[in-house]
């Protein structure tokens, strides 16, 4: 996109957001500048990732061992990731009272780390684990401590996948010990929605309610190629709510969008907050 087009679209985006009442829907593309790859955007196209399914996880001890070994390695990158300029800009928009809420498809917790408060984690968060028997939720930090103790001397490394695990060989996985719930001995699972698992209906309804009550919907870094995120864009379009999409590359929601901006997220959102600041000072 040339400089003139970018400037024009940023001005349009600023005018839309400046009126307030904006619901944000964010995807993996917002976190790539924090070093976390995505599935379908520029950083994800070079990777062949096979996400864990819920059915495989609960049905196979070997699958759980592979998952937790890979996730134990990958967590180092996810846990150490820091909010980028895009996350900070979204938090600033919330601080200025321009957002009605944030729905994120991401599981990295970077919106909250940037200071955002009204965040619905559609797919859960990797910073928590849940026992499939007693349903107790505990911190990922505590699990990591227990895994280190159970696997003293074990070490492995590999490329990080978008869902926070690492690519490891069978030889690297062999010998890794999984730990169970410290309370009841049940199976532990990250508190995220696996492929083949349904998002709780109450959570979906909360997201639909946020979209329905918004004056505008701002989509950030989501390809909208699957129903999980696209359904909220479809609902906004059905309700006649203006939709702005900022993403690198085309999305599945472009046909319904009032405005599309194909540009880097951090730069665009930083420019947005800067222009909003100028409007405030001028007023």
Model confidence over 144-177: pLDDT tens digits?
999 999 999 888 876 776 666 777 888 889 989 9
Who has greater pLDDT, 280 or 36? Answer: 36
Say yes or no: 259 and 142 in one domain.
no
133 is in an annotated binding site: no
pLDDT at position 283 over 80:
no
Average confidence (pLDDT) over 209-232: 96
pLDDT band for position 282 (cuts 50, 70, 90): low
Say yes or no: 283 and 218 in one domain.
yes
Q: In 3D, which of 122, 149, 74, 143 has the Cα closest to residue 230?
A: 122
In the block, residue with structure tokens 């085309």: 250
Say yes or no: 252 and 209 in one domain.
yes
Global pTM value:
0.90
Give the model confidence (pLDDT) of 49-86 as tens digits.
567 899 999 999 999 999 999 999 888 888 889 999 99
At 41, is the secondary structure helix, strand, or coil?
Answer: coil
Q: Given this model, what pLDDT does residue 44 score?
A: 46
181 is in an annotated binding site: yes
207 is in an annotated binding site: no
pLDDT at position 261 over 60:
yes
108 is in an annotated binding site: yes
**Domain harbouring 158, CATH code:** 3.30.1600
131 is in an annotated binding site: yes
CA distance 125 to 106: 8
Say yes or no: 163 and 271 in one domain.
no
pLDDT at position 11 over 50:
yes
247 is in an annotated binding site: yes
Say yes or no: 141 and 74 in one domain.
yes
CA distance 211 to 102: 10
CA distance 247 to 228: 17
> Is 123 considered catalytic here?
yes
- The one catalytic residue in 72, 87, 111, 123 is 123
pLDDT at position 46 over 50:
no
115 is in an annotated binding site: no
Report the number of distinct structural domains present in the chain: 2
Beta pairing class for 243-246 and 216-220:
parallel
Say yes or no: 137 and 8 in one domain.
no
Residues with Cβ < 8 Å from 134, sequence gap 6 or more?
Answer: 181, 183, 184, 186
pLDDT at position 26 over 90:
yes
């Amino acid at each position: 996109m040339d400089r003139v087009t970018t400037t024009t679209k940023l001005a349009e985006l600023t005018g839309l957001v400046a009126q307030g009442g904006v619901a944000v829907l964010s995807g993996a593309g917002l976190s790539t500048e924090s070093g976390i790859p995505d599935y379908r955007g520029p950083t994800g196209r070079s990777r062949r990732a096979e996400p864990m399914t819920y059915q495989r996880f609960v049905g196979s001890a070997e699958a759980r061992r592979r998952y937790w070994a890979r996730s134990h390695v990958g967590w180092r990158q996810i846990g150490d990731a820091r909010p980028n300029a895009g996350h900070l800009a979204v938090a600033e928009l919330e601080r200025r009272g321009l957002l009605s809420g944030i729905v994120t498809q991401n599981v990295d917790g970077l919106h909250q780390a940037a200071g955002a408060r009204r965040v619905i984690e559609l797919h859960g968060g990797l910073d928590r684990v849940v026992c499939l028997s007693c349903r107790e939720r505990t911190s990922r930090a505590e699990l990591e401590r227990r895994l280190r103790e159970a696997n003293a001397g074990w070490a492995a490394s590999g490329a990080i996948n978008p869902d926070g695990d690492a690519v490891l060989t069978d030889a690297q996985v062999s010998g890794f010990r999984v730990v169970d719930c410290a309370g009841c001995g049940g199976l532990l699972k990250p508190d995220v929605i696996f492929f083949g698992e349904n998002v709780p209906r109450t959570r979906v309804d909360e997201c639909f309610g946020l979209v329905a009550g918004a004056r505008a919907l701002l989509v950030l870094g989501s390809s909208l190629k699957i129903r999980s995120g696209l359904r909220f864009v479809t609902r906004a379009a059905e309700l006649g709510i203006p939709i702005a999409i900022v993403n690198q590359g085309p999305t599945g929601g472009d046909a319904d969008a009032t405005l599309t901006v194909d540009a880097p997220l951090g730069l665009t959102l930083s420019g947005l907050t800067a222009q909003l600041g100028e409007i405030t000072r001028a007023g």
